[in-house]
A and B are shown apart, each in its own frame.
Chain A
Amino acid sequence: MKRFIGAAFVATAALLSANSAVAQDQVLLSSAGSKSGSAISIDLMTSGSAVGFNFIINVPADVEVDTSACLKYLPKSFTGRCAFKDSEVRVIAFSEQNVAMKAGANQIGLIRLFGLNDAKALQVRNVEIVNSEAKSISDKALIQ
């Protein structure tokens, strides 16, 4: 498991360096392979005003998903839920103190998919990132 998480961190670190100046708030899903399945790192790239976000990942029908670490790195001031239901991974979180997440790349967590080796096979929809006034600031997601 440590190796799995470490691999995901390496992927995130690479993305951090590639996105040192975040131009656009977006959800970022990136592959980080592991022996027992495909690990997907979930990151939120933000310009510093994101107070909440939600998105849904469509998962192919025969793929099993482990969401136990989905919100593992969510900031402590945030509350959220992540669940695998109806072949979808549904993710939602917001700051209970209405305080924005720090600017830059914020790793949110990891999901593991069994029976899928490429994150690019996933589809993301219902992306919404909102500011402290509940205004939508982005509906973008990127899969790498």
Chain B
Amino acid sequence: MNSKKFLMGAAVSAALLLAAPMASACALTAWSTANGTPIAGQPNDATPVARYSGVCGMQADAIGDFVVDETPAGEQSFNAQFYYYTGDRAGNADVYQARSASGGTNLPIRVQHDGTNLIFSTNGSATTRTVAVTDNRWYAISLQWLAGAGTGSLTISVIGAGSDTPLNTPAITGVSNGSDTIEEARLGLVAGTNTSGVATFDAYDSRRTTVPARLCRCDSNNSGSISVADAVQALNEFINGTLATGQPDCNEGGTVTVADGVGALNIFINNGGVCP
């Protein structure tokens, strides 16, 4: 998993889940706290944990398993991105919250997954956005939140399941949230219900002003472009278990197989190797 730190003025918080090359060496120490028992792991651990980027991911098995980032400091402009693997869950759970310190019902950003849909909402607006997602697929969820007295907004982007076309999630605008601030973010099975299945996360990134870029899909070796090296790297993971350090899960299906190598091959043909 990537660990991104943005220490200049635009920074809000650091990312999570330190990656390490050895099995079972993943950790949650980049986060302020961990609640419950979220698992940091990798695909070849005794308890395999899917990942999107790098070698580590985070898995939440039950409501209350989540990590907390307390580095936001009364933010009124906040951009976050994370990768979410839908799994085969049932139950309507909050998988992400960006909150004030008091939390409660004042949730500037709330993302729920009910097993079928992702549901986005923001304090100060009765409007929600609901988009259907496919089981057992990775999605990049990007959120841009602004506070304002009747001018606040939440811009949402959901892209995944092997496609580069954003799902239809219009922004929520005209929000009355001028006094709202974000002081912490929670990622995992934060609240709600989870009757079966697990939730998996990777590559969290949050910033004050700039918007995190989506990671290069199929870029197994993290070179910034797609070539046969990415196909062979994915294949090498499938055959030899050597985990790729980039984004080898080309079809975003949760496991790396020869199909991901073929996916890289198709991107080379269709885009000439440019990241999709």
A residues in contact (CB < 8 Å) with B: 51-54, 56, 79-83, 85-86, 88, 90, 92-98, 126, 128-130, 132-136
Interface pair B231/A94, CB less than 8 Å apart: yes
Interface residue from A86, A90, A129, A133 paired with B268 (Cβ < 8 Å): A90
Interface pair A52/B269, CB less than 8 Å apart: no
Q: Does B27 contact A (CB under 8 A)?
A: no
Knowing A53-B228, A83-B269, A90-B268 touch, does A134 contact B262 (C-beta < 8 A)? no
Interface pair B268/A94, CB less than 8 Å apart: no
1/0 per residue, CB under 8 A from A, across B87-127: the answer is: 00000000000000000000000000000000000000000
Residue of B nearest to A99 (CB): B239
Interface pairs (26), CB distance under 8 Å? A52-B228, A79-B265, A80-B265, A85-B270, A85-B272, A90-B272, A92-B227, A92-B228, A93-B228, A94-B228, A94-B231, A94-B232, A94-B265, A96-B235, A97-B239, A98-B236, A126-B273, A128-B228, A130-B229, A133-B236, A133-B242, A134-B221, A134-B229, A134-B232, A134-B233, A134-B236
The distance in angstroms between the C-alpha atoms of A90 and B221, with both chains bound, is 21
Residues of A within 8 A of B229 (CB): 52, 128, 130, 134-136
Knowing A79-B262, A128-B228, A132-B232 touch, does A98 contact B239 (C-beta < 8 A)? yes
Residues of B within 8 A of A97 (CB): 239
Interface size class, chain B: 20 to 34
B residues in contact (CB < 8 Å) with A: 220-221, 227-233, 235-236, 239-240, 242, 258, 261-262, 265-266, 268-270, 272-273
Knowing A54-B268, A56-B272, A90-B268 touch, does A98 contact B240 (C-beta < 8 A)? yes
Residue of B nearest to A96 (CB): B258
Interface pair A92/B236, CB less than 8 Å apart: no
Residues of B within 8 A of A79 (CB): 262, 265
User: Which secondary structure dominates chain B's binding surface?
Assistant: helix
Residue of B nearest to A133 (CB): B236
Q: Report the minimum CB–CB distance from B132 to chain A (whole Å).
A: 31
The distance in angstroms between the C-alpha atoms of A52 and B231, with both chains bound, is 8
The distance in angstroms between the C-alpha atoms of A96 and B270, with both chains bound, is 20
The distance in angstroms between the C-alpha atoms of A135 and B258, with both chains bound, is 18
Residues of A within 8 A of B269 (CB): 81-83, 85, 90, 92
The distance in angstroms between the C-alpha atoms of A118 and B140, with both chains bound, is 47
Interface pair B239/A130, CB less than 8 Å apart: no
The distance in angstroms between the C-alpha atoms of A56 and B231, with both chains bound, is 16
Interface pair B227/A128, CB less than 8 Å apart: yes
The distance in angstroms between the C-alpha atoms of A92 and B231, with both chains bound, is 10
The distance in angstroms between the C-alpha atoms of A53 and B227, with both chains bound, is 8
Residues of B within 8 A of A129 (CB): 228
The distance in angstroms between the C-alpha atoms of A51 and B258, with both chains bound, is 14
Residues of B within 8 A of A98 (CB): 232, 235-236, 239-240
Residues of A within 8 A of B239 (CB): 97-98
Interface pair B272/A86, CB less than 8 Å apart: yes
Residue of A nearest to B239 (CB): A98
Extra 11 A-B pairs, beta carbons < 8 Å, given A126-B272, A134-B221: A52-B232, A85-B272, A90-B268, A94-B265, A95-B235, A96-B235, A96-B261, A98-B240, A129-B228, A133-B236, A134-B233
Residues of B within 8 A of A136 (CB): 229
The distance in angstroms between the C-alpha atoms of A127 and B227, with both chains bound, is 9
Residues of B within 8 A of A92 (CB): 227-228, 231, 265, 268-269
Residues of B within 8 A of A54 (CB): 227-228, 268, 273
Residues of A within 8 A of B273 (CB): 54, 56, 126
